[in-house]
Amino acid sequence: MKMIKRVAMSITALVFIGSSVFAQSLADAKKAIDAEQYQKAKTMLKNLTVTQPTNDENFFYLGWVYIKQDYTDSAKTAFNKGIAANPKSALNYAGLGAVARLEKDKAGATSNFNQALILAGKDTKPYRYVGESYLLPVPPATVVTQADADAAIAVLEKGKVVNPKVKDAELMVALGDAYISQLKSNDAYRNYSDALGADPKSLTAHVKEGVLWRLANNWESAANEFKAALAIDPNFGPAYREWAETDLRQSKNDMKVASEKVKEAVEHYRKYLSLTDMSLESQLRYADFLYNAGDFKTLQETTAALSKYANTNLRVYRYLAYSALENKDYAAGLSAINKWLSQAGPNRIYPTDYLVLGRLQLASGDSTGIANLRKAYSLDTTKADVFLEIAKSDYAKKKYLAAANDYQEYFDKSHKGGVLDHFYQANGYYYGFLYPAPGTKPDSTLLTKADSGYSYVNQKLGKPNASAVQYRAYIADLRDADRNNIKGLAKPYYEQYIALVTAKPTLTTADKADLAAAYVYLARIYEYKDKDEAKTLEAYTKAKEYDPTNAAVVAYFSRKPGAKSAK
């Protein structure tokens, strides 16, 4: 990842580069938007709203840039100004609908979209932007829902036929995007091809076809489409960005070319950045790339540098928090995530943000992190793995019964759970019995749950596990409560444990200590239950071989000074 780091070092000092000379036509501004040169487009459009204050489209495209940059308040202001300039501006009503959707105002979105389409007449552009608005994921969602995709497809299909004389390539591209959001590749390809039929020089259509091929892991066809776009316009940055993403995906799918493709991805991303105006949106896309590339060190360096600039986009702090967690820089991560959560507003916060907060807190020794992990699950029930994290945290803090219950939540809600997870749950029940909460009595039902858990482990493994057998011996011994009438319930388990451990090629110090304890148990059964002095001596002798310092062994041979070790 050294190449990635060099890119980061070269760009973080150039966050907000502006240009004093921009073409002042709306067409040039739209071209800049397509090229993801958002700062340039914004400057041009602000000038146009001053020099052409009665042109409502200037205000709409300015508002659309703000939506692209995640500034919904500024977008709403621009759209309202567009309607003030022209009360029948269909585009600006479409824009207000987009803002309402992002603010989770479903009624407002529907009302504004309907008004936009009423005013649209035979103009296909309002249909396109209503469709694109439905394709904007509404936080905390990060993908387009089936219902929103269907709504987008419905309105875009209407837009295709509202004016038979017009073949709107941009609308067809949007329709392809709607289909691809639901992985309907054939429908997406048909619409991208139709777009190229309507406009063979459509840069966006070529790039989108390349993305479609990437999703099919057809690297050559994807690259050919990016090259086709660059043959038309060598300075079309998004082609290089998507090419970089394709290289990165290929590197993860084919280890033989991984190093080569990561290097190529960096070169393509560097080219992309050089062709943008280095706007914050470009930087955030680069942050996406670093996150996906797994270069969290560079991601933290990059976002830390971006955070020092005034009026930086708050999303920088989300990336900073995520990367700091991976880099174990918990203090920096907590500072960043708390800033994001306190200032971003509820509509921009994802469940993963609470997941990261919880992990940072737990790693810092703050037990309130558990509540935030649970909150992440309450917002997104696909994140049931948080209960495994909670269980491990409680177990490490010796909150055994809580950990056992956490493991059960994990099993119930994730429908997963490995053998080791079940083993630790059984341990939680066992130690929960041994160490009850202050002021409470031991709950014998916990022993039953623990024993069932160890039995389950052995069943899943298909053969007895020494540790699980050992714990079942402990439990059986605890159930043999009447010391005046010992039944020897643990005897078969200890015998099985001894057979399993002595079969190991080498024994650890811990193994030897545990074997001595097992033989001591057997010795006591022989001595006090069976009244068999010979077997008692034999068992204590075996215990002494494994651990001569065992207190019970020392005591036995002290009170039986004439006893000779059994041969």
Q: Where are the domains of the chain?
A: 300-383, 402-559
Is 70 exceeded by the pLDDT of residue 207? yes
300-383 and 402-559 have identical folds: yes
Per-residue pLDDT of 344-366, as tens digits, reads 988 889 999 999 999 999 999 99
Query: Quick count: other Cβ atoms within 10 Å of Cβ 178?
Result: 28
Determine the Cα–Cα distance for residues 84 and 151; give it in Å rounded to an integer: 28
Instruction: State yes or no: pLDDT of 435 exceeds 80.
Output: yes
**402-559: what CATH class?**
mainly alpha
> CA angle, 138 as apex, 136 and 141 as ends, to 5°?
110
Amino acid at 261: K
- Residue 321's nearest CA partner among 293, 295, 292, 299 is 299
Q: How many CB atoms lie within 10 A of CB 556?
A: 22
**How much is the average pLDDT of 49-68?**
96
Band (pLDDT 50/70/90 cuts) for residue 567 is: very low
Tell whether the model's pLDDT for residue 22 goes beyond 70: no
**What does the pLDDT read at residue 566?**
52
Q: How far is CA 445 from CA 70, 452, 490, in A?
A: 54, 11, 18
- CB under 8 Å, gap of 24 or more: what pairs does 73-77 form? 75/99
Mean pLDDT over residues 427-432, rounded?
98
Q: What is the pLDDT of residues 59-110, one digit of tens each?
A: 999 999 999 988 899 999 999 999 999 999 999 999 999 999 999 999 999 9
Phi, psi values for residue 105, rounded to 5°: -100, 85
pLDDT of residue 16: 38
Fold of 300-383: 1.25.40
Q: What is the pLDDT of residue 3?
A: 46
Q: What percent of the chain has pLDDT over 90?
A: 82
For residue 193, count other CB atoms closer than 10 A to its CB: 14
Three-state SS at 9: helix
Tell me, what's the pLDDT at 141? 78
Q: Give Cα 543 distance to the centre of its chain.
A: 52
Mean pLDDT value across the chain: 92
How much is the average pLDDT of 524-537? 94
User: Cα–Cα distances in Å, from 12 out to 40, 283, 299, 344?
Assistant: 18, 8, 11, 23
Higher pLDDT, 499 or 24: 499
